[in-house]
Structure 1
Amino acid sequence: MAPTTYLNQLNTAEKMSEPWPNNAILYQPYEAEQILLHEHASCLAVKAYLKMCNLPFEICSRANAEFMSPGGRMTKLPVLRAGQFILAEFEPIVNFVEHKNAGVGQRLNDDDKIDMRTYVSLAENIFTMAELYISFVNDKVYNEVTAPRNGCVYPWPLSVIQNISKRKQALRLLKVYQWSGLTIEEVIDKVEKCCENLTIKLEEFEGDYFYPDGPCDLDAIVFGHLYTMLTIQLPNMALAHTVQKFKNLVKFCQLIDLKYFQTKSA
């Protein structure tokens, strides 16, 4: 190994071991005017996770937040700046927190960690694909919500170009994961089966969270997606109506919202 490479690795390791910075910033699109369904879910999941870890951070809304991501566009939100590090999306941010020994999932034993990560992958993949499908394949949602919100920060005709580009990216991603040819009924069926699995998991320990002794990564990712589906108003509310069938998941979302996001009175 070259000396410079070894030194760079040592420097990175030393920086990773530094305490969580007090000036960490989480960048996201504007919530009221701009943010899209899947982006809102991802941003909310990360916020929930950081709050569960009791880590300080500031939220900063930027029109160009998606272009700040080190990994490029499409589902690469939110963007976290913590000290000298810039990361994007749920999993890389969770890994970064765990390197600082501040992750809430670290209390789990090895078997539970493997189990948890399987559920995290399942929930994130199914729910993200469903959110992209309803936002970009359903014409009514796309024309009335997705396109106006995505294009609102750009002047015409750049807004039209950006919308065409974003839709192409979403459809390409859906095609890669074999979701583009599905009907809305098939999409809802996938979401419903995922919710059924999560319901069984949530009931396993008969507590407020998916695992005993407090929240973990799975609680954050499930809350981010399901709470977004339940609360964001769309011309097609099929996702919300599906989630509403699972009363324990709805109750779970209400608990997380109350505990970590509602302002406590003095």
Structure 2
Amino acid sequence: WPEDVKLFQPFEVDQILMNEFANCLSVKTFLNMADLKYQIELRSNAEFMSPSREVPFLKVGPILISEFDSIVTFISAKGYSLSGGLTSEQFADVKSYITLTKSTLNNVLLYVMWVHEDNYNMITKQRSGFGYSWPLYKILPWRKRKQVVRLLKEDGWINKSLDQVYAELDKCLQALSNKLGTEEFFFGSKPTELDALVFGYLFTILTTTLIDSQLLEKLKKYENLTEFCQNIHNLYFKNV
């Protein structure tokens, strides 16, 4: 593994949004679990530097790889895998839960940040335009919101009410809680890619302040999931 691998992401204090933070944290967690070194590079235009226009992205030598799935696949091809000891059935289950987590939690965070009017006007709009002067700081949030609305429409989420979105969140959390049970990790005695991804999203919900606290309240109902987050944080970020 090269010594000069860099992970590019937006600024955390003033700019990064919930789904971006969750995705960046998921990748960092995966890298930490695999004991792979990397340097964090903060850029206000990280989204536009990314080959897929999504953050985070890794720079490994001359190669740029963006988004969780592609990064995991790239690193696995290099011989670093968190799921190498699983059976084929367990590996298929990991993939299924990853799909559930991403398809639900990412859409929940996109909806809450870009469709929820109070969050959009008081949080998202300012953070999305951070680092740019007029007129870009006005244009970029407007353009991004149109993109997110189109994506949510394609996934059948744009016409959901806020209560329906929270219900989808609750169903996903229930499924993850049932799978985790009283175990330390989701599959066996060691973490997999699923543990990294779930931690990224759930820790983001636990540590982000929004206009209302519904996301946090839904998650707090599942004590094993909040304990899971604390455990992963202590294991892989305590000395970071």
Shorter-chain TM-score above 0.5 = yes
* 2:43 corresponds to 1:65: no
Of residues 193, 198, 202, the one that matches 1:217 is 193
Q: Give the drift of 1:237.
A: 2.1
Q: Look up the SS of the partner of 1:35 in the other structure.
A: coil
C-alpha RMSD over aligned residues: 1.0
Percent of aligned pairs with the same amino acid: 38
| Letter of the structure 2 residue corresponding to residue 183 of structure 1 | S
Other-structure match for 1:52: 33
Q: Give the drift of 1:46.
A: 0.3
Counterpart-to-counterpart distance in 1, 2:21 and 2:212: 17
Q: Look up the SS of the partner of 2:211 in the other structure.
A: coil
Other-structure match for 2:207: 231
C-alpha contact (below 8 Å) 2:44/2:130 kept by paired residues = no
Q: Look up the SS of the partner of 2:7 in the other structure.
A: strand
* 2:2 corresponds to 1:24: no
Q: Give the drift of 1:103.
A: 1.4
Structure 2 gaps of 5+ residues are: none
Q: Give the drift of 1:221.
A: 0.5
TM norm structure 2: 0.98
Flag the structure with larger Rg: 1
Other-structure match for 2:178: 200
Counterpart-to-counterpart distance in 2, 1:108 and 1:179: 34
Of residues 6, 30, 40, the one that matches 2:21 is 40
TM norm structure 1: 0.88
Q: Give the drift of 1:213.
A: 2.2
Q: How many residues align?
A: 240
Moved over 3 A (4+): none
* 2:165 corresponds to 1:187: yes
Structure 1 gaps of 5+ residues are: 1-19
Q: Give the drift of 1:84.
A: 2.5
Q: Look up the SS of the partner of 2:51 in the other structure.
A: coil
* 2:81 corresponds to 1:103: yes
Q: Give the drift of 1:231.
A: 0.6
C-alpha contact (below 8 Å) 1:98/1:106 kept by paired residues = no
